[in-house]
Structure 1
Amino acid sequence: MSTEESIEFAAADGYRLHGSLQRPLRARAVIVIHPATGVPERLYLPFARFLAAQGYAVLTYDYRGIGRSAPGSLRGFSARMRDWMEQDVAAATRASAALYPGLPILAIGHSVGGHALGISDATHELRAAAMIASHAGYVGSIRGWTERLRVRAVLLDLGPLLLRCFGYLPWRRLGLGEDLPAGVAREWIGWCRQPGYFFDDPALQARSRFGDKKLPLLVLGFTDDPWANPRAIDALVRHFAQCPLERRQIAPADVGARAIGHMGFFRQRFSDSLWPQLQAWLDRQLPTELSAAT
């Protein structure tokens, strides 16, 4: 049994972030879920409730400019994608540690949330982490020429025009997710044009940041995901030079499903198949006395 409550916490620069906390009766560890680009925290709530039923306290939240952490208008709002990875991820990790001092902290990163595990200094505070559909986002790595052309047209060609017209990226009008702050979109578009993705951005120092991480990582990919395909996943995770990595590539048929894709893992329909697999891996990362559900 667990309870759910709204939570608010501040990043180091003072920006207020909003999220939800799942509180089990007795928590054996804390899990922070870092979202994908333009994905509000509500996608992750069913999975967070599942984990809470297994004895985990779980923090979900929205990055600045997204969902409940967005201002009234994104016009003129200053935020970059690196602010998500550097500021917001660290703030969520610190908030988790403050709420449950002394308990192990684990993290689950979806897409850019997995990127943040390599970028954020707060990763050093984690016992272990899982990356779901995380990949280097160079458009040229997308599998399938039709999808590759579609993303080039919508993101790289239309995206800059929409930014000039609206002052932000109006993703919702296109049915592609939450609207994105202009600085986030510009940085993301720039990285997606580069064969090395953000590893080609010298200001981010991504290679050295990834290289100094040492925690166990579970890396999940799905065979029907054209973006986080094995080539694109490899281009990201090979930079975790000191991390013990476990790679799993899962086909929908492996779990009796027709599709999983880039977003599907967190859908309720996988509560009896994919979710217990990840929970079992998380359990194994805990000290023996905490590894069994309470």
Structure 2
Amino acid sequence: MRNTEIRVGQIAGTLREPDDEPAAALVIHPATATPERFYTNFATYLADNGVATVTYDYRGTGRSGSPRANRRIGMREWIEQDVPAVAEWTAARFPGLPLLAVGHSVGGHALALGYGTAGLSGFALIAAHAASARAIPDPAERRRVRLVLHVLGPALAAVLGYVPARRLGLGEDIPAAAMTQWGSWARRDGYFFDDPSMRAAARAATVTPPVLAIGFTDDKWATPEAIDTLTGHLTAARVERRTYSPADGDVATIGHHGFLRRGVRDTLWPELLTWLQKQVR
């Protein structure tokens, strides 16, 4: 396997290529406050199985610039600009190869709205859902999320120009605008589907590649109902839904991020790989 650092404008990423000619090229579009390095093991697994794989950090996160210097970069910019930019770079780097994608959480939101989907043979959504805080079933988690998204996060963003998400237990630090937008959408029952400026429902209805939407029984955020709210708008696509329990992965927990950890490498990753391979045969 060959690793190459890449740049797509300000966006920093990594291309992992198999030793032999790849059968397909795939981009992993990351979750909010989740650094590129988190996806290393999964990307390596895909490359070892013949899929050239790109990982990256959104602008204002990780290696793609400091959150303070990119304070005006919001989730909308990640969705509408960063995701398509990396997808287009990958398509240009591998002309003629089948193209695939995996979107984790907000990365899946972008794909579900049709950003970065041009020419895709199929894509998988991992823990991607309509992320209304009101839809979180666990009362304690719902209160915690509202405290972070609606009180602590915006206050820290206003003072610092970015959100120290690591100190809040949310992962990597993120730009102020990303927190503001996240909190605004989370107040709405339909998340960004209730933001008229996003035209989210109309965009989702134009998506046509096959979709595999994966959720987990112990994910406090992306519940089956919240995932269905998102995928229900994919009216022109063939959508397959799978819900895994920790027992299915032979692990104690999976939650919102555990599917991308190597603990389920031998139990759950092969099922996703098989689905992806079927889309390009």
Pairwise TM-score range, normalised by the shorter structure: over 0.9
Q: Work out whether residues 131 and 218 of structure 1, in 8 Å CA contact, stay in contact via their aligned partners in 2.
A: yes
CA distance in 1, matches of 2:115, 2:246: 34
Output aligned runs, 1:144-183, within 5 Å. 144-183=138-177
Output aligned runs, 1:101-116, within 5 Å. 101-116=95-110
Matched, 1:49 2:48: no
Output aligned runs, 1:1-294, within 5 Å. 2-10=1-9, 16-24=10-18, 25-71=20-66, 74-75=68-69, 77-287=71-281
Residue 124 of structure 1 deviates from its aligned partner by 2.7
* Aligned residue type for 1:233: I
CA distance in 2, matches of 1:84, 1:76: 12
CA distance in 1, matches of 2:95, 2:85: 15
Residue 264 of structure 1 deviates from its aligned partner by 0.3
Deviations 1:231-281 (CA, angstroms, capped at 9, x unpaired): 111111100011101000111112222110000011111110111110010
* Aligned residue type for 1:113: G
SS of the residue 1:280 aligns to? helix
* Aligned residue type for 2:23: R
* Aligned residue type for 1:27: P
* Corresponding residue of 1:290: none
Deviations 1:174-195 (CA, angstroms, capped at 9, x unpaired): 2321111111111111000011
SS of the residue 1:127 aligns to? strand
Distance verdict in 2 for CA 1:90–1:175, change over 3 Å? same
TM-score by length of 1: 0.93
CA distance in 1, matches of 2:69, 2:95: 39
Deviations 1:38-90 (CA, angstroms, capped at 9, x unpaired): 1011011110000001101000001111100023x615632111111111111
TM-score by length of 2: 0.97
Q: Share of identical aligned residues, percent? A: 48
Distance verdict in 2 for CA 1:257–1:182, change over 3 Å? same
Residue 173 of structure 1 deviates from its aligned partner by 2.1
* Runs of 5+ consecutive residues of structure 1 not aligned to the other structure: 11-15, 288-294
CA distance in 1, matches of 2:234, 2:208: 8
Distance verdict in 2 for CA 1:121–1:113, change over 3 Å? closer
* Aligned residue type for 1:238: G
Residue 34 of structure 1 deviates from its aligned partner by 0.2
Greater displacement, 118-127 / 223-232: 118-127
* Aligned residue type for 2:280: L
CA distance in 1, matches of 2:115, 2:250: 38
SS of the residue 2:248 aligns to? helix
Q: Work out whether residues 114 and 206 of structure 2, in 8 Å CA contact, stay in contact via their aligned partners in 1.
A: no
- For the aligned residue pairs, the C-alpha RMSD in angstroms reads 1.2
Distance verdict in 2 for CA 1:76–1:261, change over 3 Å? closer
SS of the residue 2:39 aligns to? helix
* Aligned residue type for 1:99: R
CA distance in 1, matches of 2:169, 2:115: 34
Q: Work out whether residues 149 and 182 of structure 2, in 8 Å CA contact, stay in contact via their aligned partners in 1.
A: no
Distance verdict in 2 for CA 1:121–1:256, change over 3 Å? closer
